[in-house]
Amino acid sequence: MQKILVVDDVEVNRELLRQILEDEYIVEIAEDGEQAICYLAESHEDTAAILLDLQMPKMDGMAVIEQMKRKGWMPRIPVLIISGEYAVEVESRCFELGVSDFIHKPFESSIVRNRIRNTMELFSRRNQLERKIEEQAETLREQEEIIRIQAEKLREERSFNRLMMEYRSAIKEVETKLQVLNEEFSQEYNRNPFEAIKSRLKTPASIFEKLRRKGYPLTLEAIRDNLSDVAGVRVICSFPDDIYRIGNLLTKQDDIILLQAKDYIKNPKPNGYRSLHYILDVPIFLSNEKKYMNVEVQFRTIAMDFWASLEHKLRYKKNWDRADADEIVAQLKACADSIEELDYRMQKIRDKIDRCSKE
């Protein structure tokens, strides 16, 4: 049977609670706060709940709660206050200190038993959930540490470094092709179709985290066969129609293979994200062979890139409550819609300027 500690300086209350509870629990008694703390010093691990009076000599109930908090007992022992008062301020203060519930005088047997039973059950479930969350967090930390160690080991291996060199070479091939197109446009149309080219190579830790998340083995073959975004190029264009023009010219080149296209401009993501994504097979020319490597190429306007960059930073901010999160998501979507309108308005202005200059 579970042990319950009843702490009350009034003998009648102690005995009445003992009679109500003794069929279901082992009932221990303390006549004041000092006795309660002495008892808990020896038996806090075996105590399933405490029924605590607030008004007592020597050490009152509030002082007992403060002592329990200092000693770290409150998180594992539910405390129910025995009270004849219904003062809102007192109850609020007790709940702030971590009290689980109140049992009001005069005692009604069924209410006392049900409140204790429900409180202990909820307390147990909460502690089980917290332990489960902590175990999952510890497992995640261990997995992340394993990934970090494996990534560091692989970073030092010659075969991994060669694979990363090949991905870097593929990025350079794409960048060169784009720069040639940009130079041609500059000569033919007296303007440049894009503003900037950004590239990135996934870090070893990021590569292995994605392999683990998708259930693939942590091998070079798995990287090459299953990850299409190790090498990435982002092209920042001036106007939406430049995106499609440059994307079409790039993918039509006879040594480029278009593996996948996702148009998030015509079909934006629910959060408002807009961009044109290509997965390309790009040839690289090594000393003794020609081989194809996957490169992810994203095309965005300046406005799209500005929105995506800020949205990414905001998304990883912590401590949003649900109401704030919903409002922020709605505002980001509204901003994305405004940016889309701005892109096409600017494109119309450019078209009008081009027509006027030809007249």
Closest to 296 in 3D by CA, of 153, 123, 109, 170: 170
In this prediction, residue 117 carries a pLDDT of 87
Q: What is the pLDDT along the chain (359 residues), one digit of tens a residue?
A: 888 999 998 888 888 998 999 888 999 999 888 999 999 988 888 888 999 988 888 888 889 998 898 888 888 889 999 887 667 778 888 888 888 888 888 888 888 888 888 888 888 887 777 778 887 877 777 767 766 666 666 656 778 888 999 999 999 999 999 999 988 888 877 778 888 999 999 988 888 888 888 888 878 889 999 999 999 999 999 899 999 999 999 999 999 999 999 999 999 998 899 999 999 999 999 998 999 999 999 999 999 999 998 888 776 655 556 666 778 888 888 999 999 999 999 999 988 887 887 66
So what's the pLDDT on residue 150? 66
Q: Which amino acid is present at 253?
A: Q
* pTM of the entire predicted model: 0.58
| Per-residue model confidence (pLDDT) at position 193 | 84
